[in-house]
């Protein structure tokens, strides 16, 4: 159960089996697996790894997709017993609405200096959460930040994940943000030894700092 003012943690872009098991022991709130073939963190589907993830029950499992086919998304949801899907592409509100009948939906919006939050309005009722990331020419895992102060202009009550270039040393600054809608922090490339392989020491440090 989320405590008042608690910010949850999502560790995304996981792939290496032993690393996944070690991260489970840290007890993050969400773990993310990327099903976008152009990603350096594309999830490789070994049977033993799939079985382990499917049977995980103490963490919310998120499948990350970019303009994927509806049936393909549902196939992964079933295979890995995912609780959430995270949509990084140009998915329409109608697509999200249909998908939300099957699984919880996180819709990603990529922020630049000219971003207009009104773009998110058609998605308010058809997604469970938003995720705000830095705009880049590629999808996800760029290690770049956007200006987090822009989120002070978000006019809706929808809860959201903050992503994009989060590093271990950012915990103090994140806790000082005055953002009522901030639900969770999404961490990825800033905690990596190599793509898809997370540094357990820095993850543990960050999670402890966030909980202090």
Residues 3-45: pLDDT tens digits?
667 899 999 999 999 999 999 999 999 999 999 999 999 999 9
Domain membership flag for residue 116: yes
Beta strands in the chain (DSSP E): 8-11, 30-34, 60-65, 84-87, 104-111, 129-134, 160-162, 182-187, 192-194, 197-198
- For residue 144, the model assigns a pLDDT of 79
Domain membership flag for residue 1: no
Domain membership flag for residue 2: no
- For residue 138, the model assigns a pLDDT of 61
Low-confidence ranges of the chain (pLDDT < 70): 1-4, 137-143
Which residues span the domain enclosing 39?
Answer: 8-211
Number of structural domains found in the chain: 1
| pTM > 0.85 | yes
Which are the catalytic amino acids? Answer: 12, 133
The CATH number for 196's domain is 3.20.20.70
Domain membership flag for residue 178: yes
CA 40 to chain centre: 16
């Amino acid at each position: 159960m989320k405590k008042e003012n608690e910010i949850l943690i999502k560790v995304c872009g996981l792939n290496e089996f032993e690393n996944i098991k070690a991260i489970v022991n840290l007890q993050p709130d969400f773990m993310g697996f990327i099903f976008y073939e152009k990603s350096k963190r594309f999830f490789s589907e070994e049977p033993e790894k799939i079985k382990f993830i499917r049977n995980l029950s103490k963490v919310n499992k998120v499948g990350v997709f970019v303009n994927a086919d509806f049936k393909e998304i549902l196939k992964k949801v079933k295979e890995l017993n995912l609780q959430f899907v995270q949509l990084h592409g140009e998915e329409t509100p109608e697509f999200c609405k249909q998908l939300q009948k099957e699984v919880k939906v996180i819709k990603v919006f990529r922020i630049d200096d000219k971003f207009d939050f009104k773009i998110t309005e058609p998605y308010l009722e058809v997604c469970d959460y938003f995720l705000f990331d830095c705009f880049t020419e590629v999808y996800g895992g760029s290690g770049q930040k956007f200006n987090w102060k822009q989120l002070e202009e978000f006019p809706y009550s929808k809860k959201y994940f903050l992503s994009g270039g989060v590093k271990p040393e950012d915990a103090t600054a994140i806790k000082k943000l005055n953002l009522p809608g901030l639900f969770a922090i999404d961490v990825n490339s800033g905690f990596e030894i190599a793509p898809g392989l997370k540094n357990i020491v820095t993850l543990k440090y960050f999670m402890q700092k966030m909980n202090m």
